[in-house]
Amino acid sequence: MRTILVIACFVLLGCQQPAQQEGSADQKQTQSNETTATVKKIENVERNVQWQIARIQYFDHEGGFFGLVTEDNKRYLPLNLATEFQQHNAKVRFTGKTKPDVMTIKQWGTPFEIEKIEIIEKGVSRTELTH
């Protein structure tokens, strides 16, 4: 019984986190500001997408959805793709913003809000895909 108690004490002591050195409040605030600035800079860079060309692809898993696959294989999950553009393999020109903070049930691409979109080459309509 005594051996078990000694082993339990060592296990508990081994699980403790090491003590951290306390820095001055100014150092902590500076580090916090630098981290916040870095996060905001990354967010702003990733959010705006210039005009790009992509193919609209229909994926038949997770309930079925349309995605944009660019010429350099970036994948965007459009949150607001109008019905008239829901054409499998249509070639489009588009611009908009990524929405990295949006969660979806689709395990595919970066959530994306389309601002402008134009069809370059028609594809197969959604109704033709299901028949």
Instruction: Kindly list the domain boundaries of the chain, sorted by start residue.
Output: 45-130
Which listed CATH number (2.60.40, 1.50.40, 3.10.450, 2.40.50) goes with 45-130? 2.40.50
Check whether 53 has a pLDDT greater than 50: yes
Residue by residue, DSSP assigns 25-65 as HHHHHHHHHHHHHHHHHHHHHHHEEEEEEEEEEEE-STT-E
- Whether the predicted pLDDT of 16 surpasses 50: yes
Q: What is the mean pLDDT of the chain?
A: 81
pLDDT for 114 equals: 96
The residues with which 69 forms a beta bridge, in sequence order, are: 55, 75
- Closest by CA to 127, choosing from 74, 50, 64, 78, is 64
CA distance 108 to 63: 13
Structure tokens at 50: 């210039």
Q: How confident is the model over 73-112, as pLDDT tens digits?
A: 999 999 999 999 999 999 999 999 999 888 888 889 999 9
For residue 16 the two structure tokens come to 């403790």
